[in-house]
Structure 1
Amino acid sequence: MKERRVELNVVHYNCLMDCLVSSGLVDSAHKVFDAMSGVKPDVFSYNIMIKGYYKVGRVRDAVVKFEEMEELGLVPDKVTYMTLIQCYYAEENFHRCLVMYREMEEKGLEVPSHAISLVVNGLCKDGKPFEGMAILEKMVERGGKANVAVYTALMDSFAKGGNEEQAMAVFDRMRSEGFEPDEVAYGAVVNCLCKAGKLERAKEWFEYCKEKGVGVNVVFYTSLIDGFGKAGMVDEAEKFFDEMVDEGLVPDTYCYNVLIDAFGKAGKVDKAWKMFKRMEKEGCDQTVYTYTIMIDGLFKKHKNEEALKLWDEMIDKGITPTPASFRALSTGLCLSGKFDRAYKILDELAPMGVIPETAHEDMLHVLCKAKRYAHACKLADSIVDKGREIPGKVRTIMINALRKAGSADLAIKMVHSRIGIGYDRFGSIKRRVKFQTLLDT
């Protein structure tokens, strides 16, 4: 066409760009866009390019094209906004999804139901189900209709926020509007009731799903295992695990973790250990959380060496510790009086980029809570002597720890003393008043 001097217009360019974008050749489409000499791109041109960037995950380029549109005085239409909402949703920028939705409303554009679904889902994932519900109500007022996925997202978000009543109200509304819940929706119901501690009702819905032929999956069983485990009913939790395996379902890492955690908290460390080894045998990924709950459980049963071996194993496997995992380790070591070992491990974590800022504070609080004041004082002196923290900060931490542990008398004694920050003279030598003098009569 160009060789024959056929006059090209914006429609020709748009058709070519759309074909290229549909074929995944976004860079080629970009070259065509830039080559529109003498032809002014229209809204469709920009929509095609924004769609192309969205398809290949180049959100920033899509936003640049959107800003360029506005600079040229082109008015974005509902397709432009819809595509941008999809872009932002894909990269979990839910706030920007909401901003785009608000702009559409302000400009009087029709908001497609799919865009509203994404915005509501985004708000739910952000822990803002009430805002999501408000947007849903607006859509219904305008004659729109929700779907099972939107209602499920709202239920799940309310449940995670501890609002079981609101979650169940959404479920009832969904059914009253003629929607048939799917396995994801029913799974959200069972999970919601388990989190609320209403385990019998959760079991009833679970049995109902099995009777109705709903695809009961690992998520259902994990919710029940977690619920009964947290309620201290570990035997019941174990039965659900065994039933799940008998049904041919393969437990995932999260499922193993909740059962191991339940055993650990119930003091059944041997059973937790068997699950840990079974997990390893079946090739299921053991995460830092798996190791953390096992280390915590072993220390609580005074199996200190086994806990330390597990820590070393975790490091050898290349699993990066978290502040929570170090907290479990340091708590166990401090309660057994092994402060130096805890310090050594803390020093080893620094090159790995894991430096728990409240490590010393956590240790002192744990010891005071356990009424091991002699150990706490010894640790406080050690922190100051090694120059790890300024004395004034350690003193403040100790006062707060004693107060929270219910030892107001010792806290007051420290407030009115020179412990930690004052000095005593021994001849010509000046020495800091040790924290251990707190316990001297």
Structure 2
Amino acid sequence: MPRGISIGKFSKPLVRQTVLPQSLPFPELSPSISALTPTTPAGTEAQLTKVAKLLETYVNKSPVTITPQELLRFLKSRLRHHPTLSHLDFHLFRYAATLDSFRHDHTTLEYMVRSLVSTNRLDCLPLLLEFISSNPCPCSDGIFSCTKIEPMFRVSVAAFTRAGRFDAALHAFGIMKRLIDGKPDAALYNILIHGFIKHRKLDKAVELYRKMIADRINPDTTTFNILIHGYCRNDHFDMAVELFKEMKLKGCTPNVVSFNTLIKGFFQSGKVSHAVGMAHEMIELNCEISDVTCRILVDGLCRKGKSTEAADLMTEFLRKGILPHGFDSVPLIETLCAGRNPEKGLQFLNELWNSDHPPSSIACTTLIEGLLKGGSTRDAVDLMNKMLTKGIVPDSVTFTCVVDELCGKGGALEANKLKNSASRKGLSPDGVVFRILIQGFIREGRRKEGEAVVDEMLDQGFIPDLATYNSFMNDLALCSR
């Protein structure tokens, strides 16, 4: 195609220049260009004159003899960062195309594509892609196309898809298919299919998938994962299962994303046993269980009132050595405690202690609070001691609750030992803890131990005045021992 005709594919034909014009022709204004674009012809002309002078100063010669490398350097180092002229880069790109001695190569073409995409000037992008189609870079003059063509169009298709401009995306996709050697890979189809799914156009996504198969493009695991997610998102769970089977028939190995999507879909459709069965199939296929998988399973089972089954399943994973180290046991513990079954939570936590998956401080304190509410003070105290032995320091609120519960049941001596142990591990008891201990010793009639706590409280500055001190000592003086 003659060069003059190809340039005419831009919406406003530009006259080929043999000398630098006094001012560059007005660019076609687009609402997506820039908020800095002048709204008057005089303002636009002034900016174009500035661009012309800036370019001439930069190359230190007449711009009519500029090379693609010089233009690219100017665009990158000067115009791109200019506070008021950066939006005129596409106009300068078009102007350069009218020069007799200039021909854009893939460096300037790729830069312009990425510039329009990064600044969201998608209205101009179709013009540029048409220009690339009619004016391939010099390295395409042989029998093979330029290797940069596909990346340029991939970026463009992705940008149009993100913006929901699917007509433009498919048009760009069609142009690219004509320009490249061979066929597009599955990754490019995946961009479009994912875009359709994201914008709730499941029928369009499936249609493109069928076209992909018809064009003999082998779908990959990502393709199937996207479509399975789309089916589940639109409550077509039976179709998702059928596609999962088709996936294996076509030689694509399901990965953790495939299983996670289906497991979540089964829970949404109320098929709890199918969801758990899918997890066991993961194990049989040696597919790695992720922390996301565990979170989906625990959440799905607990929402169906099956927190005990969730704990048993996680225990099974733990014993098989497949429970991920990133697994967060707090939601499971919270649900067990809310369901008045903290004993099951304690059993699971002990399994974690005995393995290479020590529970977090939050999981422990959550369980302690649940045990206290359920009246299992002994278990709560033992768990607190275990935490301290393992170097896990509880929060002050939970610790105070344990001390108060012990003192309320005649265990002031044990509570005081617990306080001393926690102090050695870095927990600083506050005045509330000391008051609870003193009242506990008073109720148990332990004057000597109570006076020692009062002295310690005084040393740490928790007794505000003499009256408070005398009140403690007078109450302890009435004790029998």
After TM superposition, the score normalised by the length of structure 1 is 0.48
Greater C-alpha radius of gyration? 2
Q: Taking CA–CA contacts closer than 8 Å with sequence separation of 6 or more, which of the two structures ends up with the larger relative contact order?
A: 2
After TM superposition, the score normalised by the length of structure 2 is 0.44
